[in-house]
Chains A and B, each alone.
Chain A
Amino acid sequence: MNTIETAKLEEHMEGQPNDTSNGYSRPSLSVSEENKNGTSKPKGLSNGLRKTAKKYPDYIQIAMPAESRNKFPLEWWKTGIAFVYALFNLILTTVMITVVHERVPPKELSPPLPDKFFDYIDRVKWAFSVSEINGMILLGLWIFQWLFLRYKSIVGRRFFFIIGTLYLYRCITMYVTTLPVPGMHFQCAPKLNGDSQAKVQRILRLISGGGLSITGSHILCGDFLFSGHTVVLTLVYLFIKESNLLRMHFIHLSKLLMSNAAGIICILVAHEHYTVDVIIAYYITTRLFWWYHSMANEKTLKVSSQTNFLSRAWWYPIFYFFEKNVQGSVPCSFSWPISWPPSCFKSSCKKYSRVQ
């Protein structure tokens, strides 16, 4: 039947003059023809079919969806939501630290747990400052690089979401079981049993100091499993590496890695966290980062299906909401943060776009 129809169309084609691009001049005939044969073809199809049938009588037109939108829409409002999510989780963490602090057993009663690293390496007092300075430098570097990214909003959204989720996980592990202080050098602030005002003050102080010891805001104990410092160091390093600073050579990248590793090791050298805290933090951070980005980059993994196990994570619906309009992996391109018409350059990172 289809071949009969096509043949008919061809016949009609030949019968028409050459500018039939605007449709059938004998609609009644075609309709009656179609009705007679009991088949019905959509009008649109006939039109297109005729156009191409003119040039290629044997060809069948396959309708393609119109490519209307941008491949990487910015959608700043989604980034805003992610930012609020991260902020909420950060605040939740600070509240949790304050709560957990009340439950930490005093170090006389509950001495530090045996730790392999601590057995071999003695405490170095200034090491923690080194680690925090490292963290701040890396964070600064990351923000600086982020400003120059072309697809700021998408990358920023991812950063906020991942760090928010990591801090959420951290809340859970901190809360359920309270580890004792890792070293006798810890000066924990006194417990405020039930004094809510003072607790709120503490929370604000912690937030304003960014949770760093250097700023003197972190005098609370009990937030050991897992290490937030390691999370930030590792995550920022992963993001920088992934976005790949302008023409970052291998040497620079390894310097970055060393500084990241040094930061983490200094945490341990300072006896500020147990080794297991750092290891678990590193593991969870890297896995979450790679998981999220693999799902975001691979179209087949964005859809939830029986064989796509990655979509079984609890945060999959949130991920889908954030990433559904992003088509494919975000290219690493840069632009001036303040849009300056002549200076909008697109320098694609050689390392990134090169097929390895």
Chain B
Amino acid sequence: IPGEMKEVVLWSPEEVTSWLMDNAVPEYCEPLKSFTGRDLINLTEEDFRKSPLSRVSSDSGQRLLNMIEGLKMAHHMEAHKNGHANGHVRAGDPARQNGFGAALKLNGIPNGFKKEMIKIPMPEPERSQYPMEWGKTFLAFIYALLCFVFTTVTISVVHERVPPKEVQPPLPDAFFDRFDRVQWAFSICEINGMILVGLWFVQWLLLKYKSIISRRFFCIVGTLYLYRCITMYVTTLPVPGMHFKCSPKLFGDWESHLRRIMKLIAGGGLSITGSHNMCGDYLYSGHTVILTLTYLFIKEYSPRRLWWYHWLCWALSMVGMFCILLAHDHYTVDVVVAYYITTRLFWWYHTMANQQVLKEASQTNLLARVWWYKPFQYFEKNVQGIVPRSYHWPLRCPALARGRQVKYSRLVSDT
């Protein structure tokens, strides 16, 4: 106990013996019984190679030497407690380091205090529990991009097959029977969508595990658009309302097709930007997918106590979906199916990602029977456990990064 013992150099042999007994190395009592404190601290490895110590020691004195070092350190600490910042400069004894590898970490100890510190071998932290792996995120991004492009191509193809509204009037729809069309409603829906996407993007910038979360987003949105391609393509629904103005058909004119596709991509598929005047992409609704998915991601990856923020986003999402129907821009079944598929896919993916046991295919793990299980495993295999909701400023601004994370590290109880 540092404060109470005398300096080691002043110890008598009895004190040395009692120290040896206290530290559970009684085997050294006999050979060292005449050692004073000074002799003790002057012990070197050489001494352990000769008798009588070589007979008694099983590890050529390493343990005892380490203990003596500890003792010396404690005492020097005591001596230099009052601000000998650059204290003891004693050239290190490399023999004692025993090849334990990397540099010694002694942050709390005054500079240049000792080079012969004892290194406690710690297992190398293999890798982070949540490795960034931006390469995989990039792959997921490419996948989502491909799916988007494929969707635009499909819309362009399907447009050719939509029957004209004179020949094929809009289908009877339960919602349309009860609510008449409101013209500006679709703009509301798209504005809501843009707000939600913007909010999600800002939130994503503040997340610490950006790459994992955006990887998930790209995978899910890509798959949803892929499914959408299939349902759009196989059966073509007629326009939901007589107000639709579909651009004329281009029979086989590839150049104009390409131009139209470019225009659609550039405008993000929104009517507000004037890029979307093609018909036929009704089952199921892409707008609903985006509204629902951004809401789900926002809610999942934001602090739980911001309940007002969640409610706001939920309201934006719900109003957006309602407005799609109010504008008679999609059939009700389009919105219902889109909502169902989006929520199920999101929950399925995240449940599998959160439970380690579901990341292995087995007889009882029926969730693994989806066709995208292998890519999922590839993306999520190195993520150990549930991605925590940590936040940080995206740009390293030292003035601003002032313990914001304190909020995060507080344990929020599960309700």
A: residues with CB less than 8 A from B are 103-105, 109-111, 113-117, 169, 172-173, 175-180, 225, 274-277, 279-280, 283-284, 286-287, 289-291, 293-294, 297-298, 300-301, 305-310, 312-313, 329, 352, 355-356
Give B341-363 as 1s and 0s: 1 = Cβ < 8 Å from A's Cβ atoms. 10110111011001101100111
- Give the size category of B's interface with A: 35 or more
Tell me whether B348 and A176 are in contact (CB under 8 A): no
Complex Cα–Cα for A225 and B174 (A): 14
Q: Is B272 close to A, CB under 8 A?
A: no
A280 near B337 (CB under 8 angstroms)? yes
Residue numbers of B with Cβ under 8 A of A are 161-163, 167-169, 171-175, 227, 230-231, 233-238, 283, 331-334, 336-337, 340-341, 343-344, 346-348, 350-351, 354-355, 357-358, 361-367, 369-370, 386, 414
Verify A114–B333 contact, CB threshold 8 A: no
Closest to B234 in A: A275
Q: Is the CB of A301 within 8 A of B355?
A: yes
Q: Smallest distance from the beta carbon of B294 to chain A beta carbons, Å?
A: 17
Residue of B nearest to A356 (CB): B363
Q: Report whether B234 and A294 are in contact in the complex, using a CB–CB cutoff of 8 Å.
A: no
- A116, A225, A283: the one within 8 Å of B333 (CB): A225
**24 intermolecular pairs with C-beta atoms under 8 Å apart:** A109-B169, A111-B163, A113-B235, A114-B235, A115-B236, A117-B234, A173-B337, A175-B174, A176-B332, A178-B173, A225-B333, A274-B234, A275-B235, A287-B348, A291-B366, A294-B364, A294-B367, A298-B355, A298-B358, A298-B364, A301-B351, A305-B414, A307-B351, A309-B347
Q: Which of A110, A283, A312 contacts B347 (CB 8 A)?
A: A312
| Residues in B whose Cβ lies below 8 Å from that of A298 | 355, 357-358, 364-365
**Complex partner residue of A176 from B174, B231, B233, CB under 8 angstroms:** B174
CB-nearest residue of chain B to A329: B364
Name the distance in Å between B371's Cβ and chain A's nearest Cβ.
10
Are B344 and A287 within 8 A (Cβ)?
A: yes
Instruction: Check B336–A172 contact: CB distance below 8 A.
Output: yes
A146 to B: closest C-beta gap in Å:
19
Does B172 lie within 8 Å of A103, measured CB to CB? yes
Give chain A residues whose Cβ lies under 8 Å from the Cβ of B347.
Answer: 309-310, 312-313
Cβ contact within 8 Å between B346 and A177? no
Q: Within the complex, which residue of A177, A279, A329 is in contact with B331, where a contact is CB–CB below 8 Å?
A: A177
Q: Are B171 and A116 in contact (CB under 8 A)?
A: no
Within the complex, what minimum Cβ distance (angstroms) separates A119 from chain B? 9
**Contacts A109-B169, A111-B168, A176-B173; A276 near B231 (Cβ below 8 A):** yes
Q: Which residues of B lie under 8 Å from residue A176 when comparing CB positions?
A: 173-175, 331-333, 336
B173, B344, B351, B364 pick with most chain A CB within 10 angstroms: B351
A105: contacting residue among B172, B333, B346, B369, CB under 8 A: B172
Name the residue of chain B whose CB is nearest to the CB of A172: B336
- For the complex formed, measure the closest distance between the CB of B333 and the CB atoms of chain A, giving whole angstroms: 4
Residue pair B333, A173 in contact (C-beta under 8 Å): yes
Q: Which residue of B lies closest to A175 (CB)?
A: B174
- Nearest A residue to B366, CB-CB: A290
From A175, A276, A308, B283 is in contact (CB under 8 Å) with A276
Complex interface: chain A residues within 8 A of B235 (CB): 113-116, 274-277
In the bound assembly, the distance between CA atoms of A14 and B236 in angstroms comes to: 88
* Complex Cα gap A315–B357 (Å): 24
CB B338 to nearest CB in A, in angstroms, measures 12
- Beta-carbon contact of B366 and A180 below 8 Å: no
Chain A residues lying within 8 Å of B336, measured Cβ to Cβ, are 172-173, 176
Residues of B within 8 A of A109 (CB): 169
What residues of A have a CB within 8 angstroms of the CB of B332 in the complex? 176-177
Complex Cα gap A191–B173 (Å) = 18
Which residue of chain B lies nearest to A354 when distances are taken between CB atoms in the complex? B363
Cβ distance A14 to chain B, nearest Cβ, rounded Å? 28
